[in-house]
Structure 1
Amino acid sequence: MALKIEMLRGFATVARSGNLSDAAQTLGRTPSAVSMMLKQLETHLGEPLFETDRKSKLTALGTFVLEQAERELQQFDNTVKAIEGFAKATHGHVRIATVPSVAGTIIPQVFSRHINDYGNVDIELRDMDSSSILHELDRDRIDIGIATMGQQNVGLNSQHLLSDTFGVICAPTHALAQETGPVTWEALDNERLIANSLSAGISAEPSILLHEKALLSAHNLTSIMGMVHANIGVTILPEMAVRASNSAGLIFRPLAEPHAKREIHLLRRADSTLSPAARLLERHILEIAAEISQDTLMGMSS
């Protein structure tokens, strides 16, 4: 007969209770059933576990078995708790990487509303550019990615998260800040453009020509906004990126180009299954993103 965890649990309960009736009540079984289980255990071991039939005093073997049983029961119960918690999304480890604009807008709203839903889930959040996110997904170093889709998207499952409109950002004293409405490419012909990796992704021909003659470029949003604040030039950024950066006091005017949008996707590897906790986080991100509309992201238009 092989020892079973419930035999150890029954013995430990009797040993702690000091009698069969109280132990049986705790275990939800009859005293006779508990007594039979103890006899099976003693028969298997070949030695008695209690000094008398009253079960109030342990033998030397009983003391040793109790010590080992309680240690094993604690480990077993912790394992069961961890397994059940993982299945219910209250335990686990989720690795997520997102573009900074989403890290500074959608993700805080997700955790503000749902942080108690994750219990003991270890969530690792990193912000990086889209190409780095795709690279991390390819290397299976993250579970969820939030990025702009690239040309190399083989092996990825994608859900469209939101469209982010590009606009011109300038200082409040700049000439463009004195007008309202969308800005045309022609209006930017004679402006000093502070190019960046996001604006360089706009495929419209006027944008390509504008970036080819740009003498200033920066990749860090803090540096970009600092130069715009100093009225060194203007830049072009998606609205969410502006909202997530140090943009207080700056003016945002949307581009007249209707296709100047950044499409952000929720990504994961097609050949892997997300954990319950990761699926829960994914669902919450989609819910928050669905609630966000472009006309409420920020009121920077003049």
Structure 2
Amino acid sequence: MLRLEALRAFVEVADHGNIKGASERLFRTPSALSMTLKQIEDRLGCPLFETDRKSSLTDMGRFLYDQSVALLRDYDRAMERIAAQSKARSGRLRIASVPSVATMLLPDFLQEFISTRPDLDIDLVDTDSADVRLLVETGQVDIGIAGFAGDRPGMATRPIFRDPLMLVCRTDNPLAAKGQILDWDDLEGEALVLNEAMRSLASDRFQQLILNARYAVRNVASLIAVVRAGMGVTLMPALATVNLPPNLTVRSLRDPACMRTVSLHWRLGRVPSPIAQRFLQDFTLAAQEMTKSFGLEPVV
């Protein structure tokens, strides 16, 4: 079998038309190159050059040259791709995120993240926390960004910021006139529209209020449309309320339990790819800085 180093030496000699120029290019002595060429010829059982001057190839030499150039080109390109992936410059990164992070934090971050990684492919799934958890647990995505309650078996978690749950209602709803901070008793008799962010809220009074809830909506756009239509009020993370329609307003809730912790999640027992590791590192820092501008509390 001919080694790649030997084929590279042969191609350099053929390109230069002499051993001296090739030896300077490869930082090898002329005698070492001559020995390499002789080993190739002995292996193939035929000469590669018409004369000892190495200025012209035989038919076999021309055939070997063409094959070697193609082989070395493919090899070098493959090694470049391998190096790029190992150094987190390329690859494929699959992310699942709750909508608030996907719309408010990820676009600016990803634009900068991929600007120096032209060969990086990003798959982004925008869904609720339950689906994010499922996609991470089943290995369909590399990284999840969501607010989970408590530890999840088989899943690593890195908190990045805390986000209060806010009451969202129409501006003409009587709740909007009750002040900026509400108590659970203020919601008595209101039609609550449930969503995934509310399900993990550990408050006895809240659990009593939702016993008569008639609607549950998972999609954020649909949730906002239902509230706009006057079908009820809901709770949404503060980050998700930044760009609400004009006829909707938000109010804080006094209960300290109205808080979600948004975290990065990935599977335990599986080493993240180099690009996933870089994303985990860079997005943690970027998200903590970006959320400060929204008045949220980073977890450091």
Cα distance, 1:229 vs. partner? 2.5
Aligned counterparts, 1:43-82, within 5 A: 43-82=42-81
Q: What fraction of aligned residue pairs are identical, expressed as a percent?
A: 33
Q: How far apart are the structure 2 equivalents of 1:273 and 1:81?
A: 22
Cα distance change of structure 1 residues 121 and 256 upon mapping to structure 2, 3 Å threshold: same
Aligned partners of 1:112, 1:7: CA distance in 2, in Å? 43
* From 277, 281, 284, the counterpart of 1:283: 281
**1:225-244 superposed matches below 5 A:** 225-243=224-242
1:225-278 deviations in Å (ceiling 9; x for gaps): 1232334432211112223x6545521211111111112221111101011111
The residue that corresponds to 1:214 in the other structure is: 213
AA of the residue aligned to 1:60: D
Structure 1 gaps of 5+ residues are none
Distance in 1 (CA, whole Å) between partners of 2:292 and 2:204 is 25
- 8 Å CA contact 2:182, 2:252 repeated in 1: yes
Alignment partner, residue 203 of structure 1: 202
How far, CA to CA, are the matches of 2:154 and 2:222 in structure 1?
35
Q: How far did 1:41 drift?
A: 1.5
Give the equivalent residue in structure 1 for 2:99: 100
1:119 shift after superposition = 3.4
What is the CA–CA distance in structure 2 between the aligned matches of 1:248 and 1:146, rounded to whole Å? 28
Please say which of residues 79-88 and 213-222 is displaced more in the overlay.
213-222
Deviations 1:88-119 (A, max 9, x none): 11121221111112111221132133222333
| Equivalent position of 1:124 in the other structure | 123
CA distance in 2, matches of 1:36, 1:258: 79
Cα distance in 2 for residues equivalent to 1:281 and 1:293: 17
Q: Distance in 2 between matches of 1:15 and 1:291?
A: 57
Q: Report the CA distance shift for 1:83/1:248 in structure 2 as closer, same or farther (over 3 A).
A: farther
Equivalent AA in structure 2 for residue 274 of structure 1: P
Q: Is the 8 A contact 1:239 1:297 kept in 2?
A: no
Q: Corresponding residue for 2:271? A: 273
Q: Is contact 2:142–2:266 with CA below 8 Å preserved after alignment?
A: yes
Aligned-pair RMSD on alpha carbons?
A: 2.2
Q: Which runs of 5+ in 2 are unaligned?
A: none
CA contact (8 A) 1:145 1:267 kept: yes
How far did 1:286 drift? 0.4
**Aligned counterpart in structure 2 of residue 252 of structure 1, from 241, 250, 253:** 250
Alignment of structure 1 residues 153-192 onto 2, 5 Å: 153-192=152-191
SS at match of 1:201: coil
Task: Please give the alpha-carbon distance, in whole angstroms, between the structure 2 residues aligned to 1:249 and 1:48.
Answer: 85
Report the 3-state secondary structure (helix = DSSP H, G, I; strand = E; otherwise coil) of the residue aligned with 1:177: helix
* Alignment partners' CA distance in 2, 1:128 and 1:252: 22
- After TM superposition, give the deviation of residue 295 of structure 1 in Å: 6.8
- How far has the Cα of 1:121 moved from its partner? 1.8
Quote the Cα distance in structure 2 between the aligned partners of 1:219 and 1:96: 19
Report the Cα distance in structure 2 between the residues aligned to 1:61 and 1:292, rounded to whole angstroms.
Answer: 64
TM-score by length of 2: 0.90
Provide the secondary structure at the position in 1 that maps to 2:199. helix
Distance (Å, rounded) in 2 between the aligned partners of 1:161 and 1:224: 25
For 2:92, what is the secondary structure of its paired residue? Answer: strand
| Number of positions where the alignment pairs a residue of Structure 1 with one of Structure 2 | 296
Counterparts of 1:113 and 1:145, CA distance in 2: 20
Amino acid across the alignment from 1:131:
A
Q: Letter of the aligned partner of 2:179 in structure 1? A: T
Q: 1:85 to 1:248 in 2, by over 3 A?
A: farther
Instruction: Give the Cα separation in 2 of the matches to 1:253 and 1:180.
Output: 8
Cα deviation, 1:202-236, whole Å, max 9, x if unaligned, reads 22112111111223332222122123233443221
SS of the residue aligned with 1:104? helix
Contact 1:200/1:211 (<8 A) preserved: no
- Supply the AA of the counterpart residue of 2:173: H
